[in-house]
Chain A
Amino acid sequence: MQNQHTTGSIAEKPVSIIYRWLGDRIFLTVVVALGLSIILLAGAMAWVLTGESGMALKEFGVIGFLTGTTWDPGVQFRFGALPFIAGTLITSVLALAIAFYPAVAVAIFIAEYAPRWLGYIIENLVHLIAAVPSVVIGIWGIFVFAPWMRDTFYFPLYEWAANHQPSLLPVLGSPIGYGMATAIIILALMIIPFTTALTRDAIRQVPKEQREAARALGATKWEMIRMAVIPYSRGGIMAGAILSFGRAIGETMAVAMLIGNNNNFPFSVMGPAATMPSVIVNEFREAVGNLHLSSLMAIGLVLFVISLIVNLIAAYVTRKLSITGGQSI
């Protein structure tokens, strides 16, 4: 009797409006508003960069700006983006080319060969190194790596070329230590942990059954990796490589500190060059003319578009090449 009475009174108790429908309404509205602001933010980036670069693009034309090879903020006030686009693409492609195989090798080593404790240590170390700020790598590059490269490789190479193959000198460029080659090597070192981590994640997705199927056919360990592990994870590995490339494109500080900052074509192997992020970081603070600022914004817009394309390709590759439930798509 009494029990029934209590239950009845709780059920009949009026529930506050917050608990009926208003609370959910408010909550959803707030959450959607916050989500929407991120959408707007991404849109704002495109909008702002386009708007701010309007002056430069109008002055030189889109094609003219993209293909212009002169960057002269001092005398002619002419701005062309080609040296920086080229600098960015060359450094990033070569850095990825250097980094890719070693990075994948480390991932395979962690996943397949290292004893569990060692794999655990290396994996965490890789994540840790990936978190080291770019400027910290940069300071090591400026004071240790670049001078060392200059004394160990660039000078001897330059001397040899001067004595034996003078025609190579313009290709090699001046051996000051700060230049394309140094930037590429540092960039490669910086993206290796990133590529390794993504490859490791891709390998993690390979089902046990695939490995066992290969071993049951009498595959040796390496044959199993070639037969079951790498093909199965190739989508993830490819996407990881592309994302690393995107990372290299946007990498700013260490490159700006090491590439030597030469805004003019032609670039040489060891000589100074520039990339899109490096020119922005170097000149934006000191830019006075509106056209100069607008041109730097336009460089930012180009960087935005290229990064966007790279990210979209990575997403496409992941979807296209990924394997779900043992069935290929």
Chain B
Amino acid sequence: MYDISDIKEKAGDQIDGTSGTSGSDKRTEGPATIRMETKDLTVKYGEVTGVRNISLPVYNQKATALIGPSGCGKSTFLRALNRMHDLTRNAVISGEVLLDGKNIYHPKVNPVVIRRKIGMVFQKPTPFPTMSIFDNVVAGLRLVGIRDKNLLNEVCERALRQAALWDEVKDRLSSAGGSISGGQQQRLSIARALAIDPEVILMDEPTSSLDPLSSSKIEELIHELKEKYAIVIVTHNMQQAARVSDYTAFFYLGELVEFGPTDQLFTNPVHQRTEEYLTGKFG
């Protein structure tokens, strides 16, 4: 028999040689501890620089919004946080990304393990279309060979409840993942990320392909999720950033222009660029 803490422990085992204990109890510490941190992070695609020298903290139990005009590097930065750039052929990364003080780009760290600790939700909903809703949610658990039906059921319900989707789909868990509405698909994608109990959740414009009603549901969800997780959300929508985030980082031309508590950045930006962007002078 397994239970959730068991999974986490085993997941901890899977993290390479660098870490002994990780995860579990840090969430109960003070509200503004740093969960992740980048140091001089630079991402290049061949000769082209995506982002340059970004140093940014990600606080635990807070939502951090990344804003900026399109092409400013905010998505590039986000994808560096769980080593998604490993999948891009010519991406080169320098600098450090620390998760709980450990560099995830350390040569001994396996990106597969990192991605289980840092979940990701994409712009478009990405349910696996041939899998049922249930199979979609527990896909991450099945990867590590968990077969126990009771545990899978339990995790599925927990994740779907966390993603505020349980009541809508509990009667048709066996129907196809693509058979529900776009907004529901996006919450399904979130549930799938939550099922493996990550520490950080990255969201890459999670509402940009959704209608306003579905978007506001996702935003509510972000409010609930940040009680428990560290969230980083890329958004092109400044109002959304203001509504959901505690911290905001403003990117421009591949550089981090300004970072601070959301209220402060929106009401009293330090840099002229930030103010110009926020007041709609460009972007």
**Is there a direct interface between A and B, measured as CB atoms under 8 Å apart in the complex?**
yes
Chain B residues with CB under 8 A of A216: 82, 84, 115, 119-120, 122, 193
Task: List residues 196-227 of chain A with CB under 8 A from any CB of chain B.
Answer: 209-220, 223, 227
Q: Contacting B87 at CB < 8 Å: which of A211, A220, A327?
A: A211
- In the assembled complex, A166 has its CB within 8 A of some CB on chain B: no
The answer to whether B143 and A326 have CB atoms under 8 Å apart is: no
- In the assembled complex, A61 has its CB within 8 A of some CB on chain B: no
The answer to whether B84 and A212 have CB atoms under 8 Å apart is: yes
The answer to whether A217 and B124 have CB atoms under 8 Å apart is: no
Chain A residues with CB under 8 A of B140: 217-218
Q: Mark B56-76, 1 if CB is under 8 A from A, else 0.
A: 000000000000000000000
- In the assembled complex, A328 has its CB within 8 A of some CB on chain B: yes
- In the assembled complex, A79 has its CB within 8 A of some CB on chain B: no
The answer to whether B185 and A326 have CB atoms under 8 Å apart is: yes
| Chain B contact residue count (CB 8 A cutoff) | 32
Give the segment of B40-48, B128-136, B221-229, B250-258 that binds chain A.
B128-136
Chain B residues with CB under 8 A of A215: 84, 87, 115
Give the segment of A85-93, A128-136, A228-236 that binds chain B.
A228-236
Q: Contacting B126 at CB < 8 Å: which of A212, A219, A328?
A: A212
Q: Mark B106-145, 1 if CB is under 8 A from A, else 0.
A: 0000001101100110111111111100000001100100
Task: List residues 224-268 of chain B with CB under 8 A from any CB of chain A.
Answer: none
In the bound complex, CA of A216 to CA of B140 (Å): 9
- In the assembled complex, A176 has its CB within 8 A of some CB on chain B: no
Chain B residues with CB under 8 A of A232: 128-130
Chain A residues with CB under 8 A of B122: 209, 212-213, 216
The answer to whether B89 and A209 have CB atoms under 8 Å apart is: no
The answer to whether A231 and B125 have CB atoms under 8 Å apart is: no
- In the assembled complex, B192 has its CB within 8 A of some CB on chain A: yes
In the bound complex, CA of A207 to CA of B36 (Å): 30
- In the assembled complex, B174 has its CB within 8 A of some CB on chain A: no
Chain B residues with CB under 8 A of A210: 126, 128
In the bound complex, CA of A217 to CA of B120 (Å): 8
In the bound complex, CA of A52 to CA of B133 (Å): 56
- In the assembled complex, B18 has its CB within 8 A of some CB on chain A: no
In the bound complex, CA of A216 to CA of B84 (Å): 7
Q: Contacting B128 at CB < 8 Å: which of A116, A212, A218, A227?
A: A227
Q: Mark B172-196, 1 if CB is under 8 A from A, else 0.
A: 0000111100000100010011001
Q: Contacting A327 at CB < 8 Å: which of B129, B143, B196?
A: B129
| Min C-beta distance of B257 to chain A, whole Å | 28
In the bound complex, CA of A58 to CA of B82 (Å): 73
The answer to whether A223 and B129 have CB atoms under 8 Å apart is: no
Q: Contacting B189 at CB < 8 Å: which of A116, A211, A213, A218?
A: A213
The answer to whether B87 and A223 have CB atoms under 8 Å apart is: no
Task: List residues 3-55 of chain A with CB under 8 A from any CB of chain B.
Answer: none
Chain A residues with CB under 8 A of B139: 214, 217, 227
The answer to whether A218 and B196 have CB atoms under 8 Å apart is: yes
Chain B residues with CB under 8 A of A211: 87
The answer to whether B178 and A326 have CB atoms under 8 Å apart is: yes
The answer to whether A323 and B189 have CB atoms under 8 Å apart is: no
CB-CB nearest in chain B for A210: B126
- Chain A contacts to B: CB under 8 angstroms: 116, 209-220, 223, 227-228, 231-232, 234, 323, 326-328
Known: A116-B89, A213-B128, A328-B178. 10 other contacts (CB 8 A): A211-B87, A212-B120, A213-B189, A216-B120, A216-B122, A220-B112, A227-B143, A232-B128, A326-B126, A328-B177
